[in-house]
Amino acid sequence: MLIKMSEDMTENDITAESVYKQRRLFLQAGSALALLGSGLLSAAERPGVGRPLQGYQKTPWGKAETLTPYRDITSYNNFYEFSTDKEEPALLAKNLKTSPWDIVVEGEVERPGKYHLEDLVPMNKLEERIYRLRCVEAWSMVIPWIGIPLATVIKRLQPTSKAKYVEFTTLFDPKQMPNQNNRLLDWPYVEGLRMDEAMHPLTILAVGLYGEVMPNQNGAPVRLVVPWKYGFKNIKSIARIRFTEQQPVSAWMKASSREYGFYANVNPQVSHPRWSQAKERRIGEFRKRETLMFNGYGEQVAGLYTGMDLKRFF
């Protein structure tokens, strides 16, 4: 397999558009057969295969949306630590050890240290939020995430006045994540948010979906969900959180800063250098739809970027 490492490398170089469209059609056909075989039950009515999460609170977020079927959410994934193929993470991530799980907290914060996941994300305070996930490759999903507001975690950790950004790092373990042995990216995967983005009520740390513990291929045991940003911003399997005074350099910025900026806000007016972002196709649908500014969350988040040139700060 040819691995490209240059400023011209893009996510679309990894999986050709024609290939992933064919796979998507295959998944759609498979979902339809699954529904017929289960007596025309919707994915929301059919149980998944994971361990149920108990006691989480339902919220009004996204209740008007039509959910993407559980099967599609858990079988069509970007998780390059395991594979650049969309279907392989569901197979290759099966044996990822997600419990116990520790997260290192460091940097400009009053309470640094190594925390058990349950200490940072109490299971008795979880809530469900239905959010859209829009990927830079022009496909999208609607997912019922279960998690906790990131702001709740940050407040407990007590950042100092110097903390302007929050940096997240994925687990680095090539034995468990075999694609980290390849030079596709400068591993481990790193992402970051400005502090006001991290503290925004829409931003959550998710530990589950569809009423179940987070599947490994979707970012178990804990991942970031920032619904107004492109999918690559929503880092998976978080092992380190660092509070910094300087803007972090993310993994995709290192790989191709011309194509992947720090903010990664969904913006139909800013095209990727190699394709338009003006339209998207939701998994399970054949007809494309218009991409919404900030993924449809503009009313809630546009104020974060008042006065900014969003074509420059993309």
CA 95 vs CA 76, 88, 89, 116, 158: distances in Å? 18, 13, 11, 20, 35
Whether residue 139 lies inside any domain: the answer is yes
More confident residue, 107 or 21: 107
Burial class (CB in 10 A: 0-12, 13-18, 19+), 172: middle
- Quote the mean pLDDT of the chain: 88
Q: For residues 96-120, give the mean pLDDT.
A: 98
- What are the beta bridge partners of residue 224? 205
As a whole number of angstroms, the distance between CA 81 and CA 47 comes to 28
Domain-located, residue 287: no
The one-letter code for the residue type at 246 is: Q
Q: Provide the percentage of residues in the chain whose pLDDT is more than 90.
A: 82
Does residue 157 form part of some domain?
yes
**d(Cα 263, Cα 193) in Å, to the nearest integer?**
8
Whichever domain contains 185, its CATH number is 3.90.420.10
Residue 37 has pLDDT above 60, yes or no: no
Residue range 240-274, pLDDT digits in tens = 999 999 999 999 999 999 999 999 999 999 999 88
Let me know if residue 223 belongs to a domain. Answer: yes
Q: Which domain holds residue 222?
A: 48-265
Number of domains in the chain: 1
Q: Residue 60: CB partners within 8 Å, gap ≥ 6? A: none
The pLDDT of residue 169 = 98
Confidence of residue 49 (pLDDT cuts 50, 70, 90): confident
Q: Is residue 260 domain-resident?
A: yes
Query: How high is the pLDDT of residue 48?
Result: 62
- Is the backbone peptide bond immediately before 112 cis, with ω within 30 degrees of 0? no
Cβ atoms of 256 and 238 within 8 Å: the answer is: no
Q: What is the dihedral of CA 146, 59, 119, 220, to 10 degrees?
A: 10
Residue 28 lies in a domain: no
Q: Is residue 96 included in any domain, yes or no? A: yes
CA–CA distance, 305 with 54 (Å, rounded to integer)? 37
Summarize the confidence of residues 17-43 as an average pLDDT.
Answer: 41
Cis peptide before 100 (omega within 30 of 0): yes
Query: Does any domain span residue 155?
Result: yes
